[in-house]
Amino acid sequence: MQSSQKSPTQIGVLLFERFSNHCLANAVEPLRAANTLSRRRLYAWRFLTPDGRPVTSSGGMPVLPEMRLADHPGGACLMVLPSYGFRALLTPDLSRGLRAAAGRFDMVAGLDTGSWLMAASNLLDGYRATIHQDEFDAFSETFPQLDADSSRFVIDRDRASCGGAMSAFDLVQEMIGRAHGPALCAEIAALFMQSDAPPRSGMRAGLVDAALALMRRNLEHPLAIPALARALGCTQRKLETRFQARMGVPPRRAYQRLRLLAARRLAGESRISVAEIALRAGYADASAMTRAYLREFGETPRQTRAARQLGRTVPVTGASNSSSK
């Protein structure tokens, strides 16, 4: 998914009867978070079905699609999301539709059991791919023309796949990181991480995730980086090396970014004073916080607040038609 300065990256989400609620949420929520955290509409997504008819998830949630697959003009990525009963979905018409869509989208990604439909449509010949662990053995035996990989997710050129709902989050997060940088990717991970729970080791960086969680718990009273390293049971050098490799910035810079993001949320969503915002973001000096805020976001906290009050907000949702909540 390539970044765009002019218009949002277009994502098609192809749903089938009895799709997984959990997998859909884990695919879409990182996109929404990227929009929210960047305050720009980086991504827009549309829900599709093969024939344009509504579908109902495995949990009973109905979804009204915007259009049928054949009517979508294409974009950066088509996410193929079946779940239960996926073998019954295979028809010559579906295979033709998927192959045609592959010519309109830069990437086709199979979520959950979506890679089975892709493989049956000859879209994974010569590619590495994965699938839900319950289907992995049958997948590798049925489609010898592909390289079955048991990783949580796989990105191979213009094809991607993941093994279930939890790995869908990791896959989309990785795509966002490749398009918009590791810092935004890590902020998304931190946003969805429970502050009082141990982090998931989703993206080959358990130490970084643990550090981000600890940072988020200590925004108002920031820890020094040596103290942070001691709390994590590692050396400061190791922590800095991991952050540089994962995020491209040292932990001090990542910590500052999280504090300033907290300040921006308070500026836009509360009426507390700038001095109080500074304290809650770990700054004893409101002027120092304002200068750092201006460098980071190109505006002051007061300008952020004024813009929100005037309604100058960036859309952060995807499609106009969405499922009921």
Domain extents in the chain: 9-180, 182-309
Let me know if domain 182-309 sits in CATH 1.10.10.60.
Answer: yes
Q: What are phi and psi of 6, to 5 degrees?
A: -100, -40
pLDDT at 315: 35
Mean pLDDT score of the chain: 86
What is the rounded distance in angstroms from the CA atom of residue 52 to the CA atom of residue 46? 12
- Give the mean pLDDT of 210-228: 92
Extract the tokens encoding 72.
């979508």
pLDDT at 59: 86
What is the rounded distance in angstroms from the CA atom of residue 152 to the CA atom of residue 129? 10
Q: What are phi and psi of 110, to 5 degrees?
A: -95, 115
pTM confidence score: 0.70
pLDDT at 166: 85
Tell me the Cα Rg of the chain.
Answer: 21
> Other CB atoms closer than 10 Å to residue 53's CB: what's the count?
10
What is the rounded distance in angstroms from the CA atom of residue 56 to the CA atom of residue 252? 46
* pLDDT at position 76 over 70: yes
- Give the mean pLDDT of 60-64: 92
Let me know if domain 9-180 sits in CATH 3.40.50.880.
Answer: yes
Buried b (16+ CB within 10 A) or exposed e, 245-259: ebbebebeebbbbbb
223 in Cβ contact with 236 (< 8 Å): no
Q: What is the pLDDT of residues 248-299, one digit of tens each?
A: 789 999 899 889 988 988 998 889 999 999 999 999 999 999 999 999 888 9
